[in-house]
């Protein structure tokens, strides 16, 4: 059993079926880029995190413990939401787009409170990623499309 549990396919399937398809939070790193031990550790962690975040409802289905609703104009879309590391699920970043893109930081510990937002006039934010390395000075990286170039 020990040697079977070290097989990559076991953790790939566990992650796919028990984490991703269940709608549980998982880092945006593509599964093929993770080595087997990283995939196992992340699958275990996010399965446990998802189970804590979700609670059984009376119908036997999983339901969120807390719901936070974001209201936006019809022309605005939220394309990415990521929790900030070290905030114990109380702070998150959103990437939204309208005329141009906006990254906003939210405190959801007591309702919904916007802490800060950033946008660059005329720019479209392709993507952002949150740094999970606590020893790094950087919090996130942003990819911007502006004036025909990705920066």
Surface-to-core class of residue 93, CB atoms within 10 Å of its CB (0-12 exposed, 13-18 middle, 19+ buried) = buried
The domains of the chain are located at 2-64, 77-150
Output the CA–CA distances (angstroms, integers) from residue 103 to 6, 19, 131, in the order listed. 39, 26, 15
Q: What is the pTM of this model?
A: 0.54
Output the CA–CA distances (angstroms, integers) from residue 112 to 34, 75, 76, 83, 143, in the order listed. 34, 21, 18, 14, 26
Residues facing 67 on adjacent strands: none
Is the pLDDT assigned to residue 76 strictly greater than 50? yes
Tell me the average pLDDT across 51-73: 60
Is the pLDDT assigned to residue 16 strictly greater than 50? yes
Contact call for residues 96 and 75 (beta carbons, < 8 A): no
**Residue whose token pair is 């995190």:** 49
State residue 57's pLDDT score: 46
Tell me the average pLDDT across 41-65: 67
Tell me the average pLDDT across 79-89: 79
């Amino acid at each position: 059993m020990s040697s079977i549990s070290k097989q990559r396919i076991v953790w790939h399937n566990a992650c796919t079926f028990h984490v991703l398809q269940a709608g549980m939070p998982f880092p945006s790193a593509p599964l093929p880029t993770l080595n087997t031990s990283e995939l196992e550790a992340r699958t275990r962690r996010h399965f446990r995190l998802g189970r804590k975040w979700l609670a059984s409802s009376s119908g036997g289905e999983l339901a969120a413990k807390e719901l936070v609703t974001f209201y936006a104009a019809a022309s605005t879309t939220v394309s990415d939401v990521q929790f900030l590391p070290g905030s114990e699920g109380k702070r998150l970043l959103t990437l939204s787009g309208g005329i141009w893109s906006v990254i906003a930081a939210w405190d959801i510990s007591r309702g919904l409170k916007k802490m800060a937002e950033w946008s660059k006039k005329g720019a479209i934010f392709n993507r952002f990623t949150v740094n999970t390395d606590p020893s790094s000075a950087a919090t996130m990286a942003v990819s911007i499309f502006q004036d025909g170039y990705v920066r």
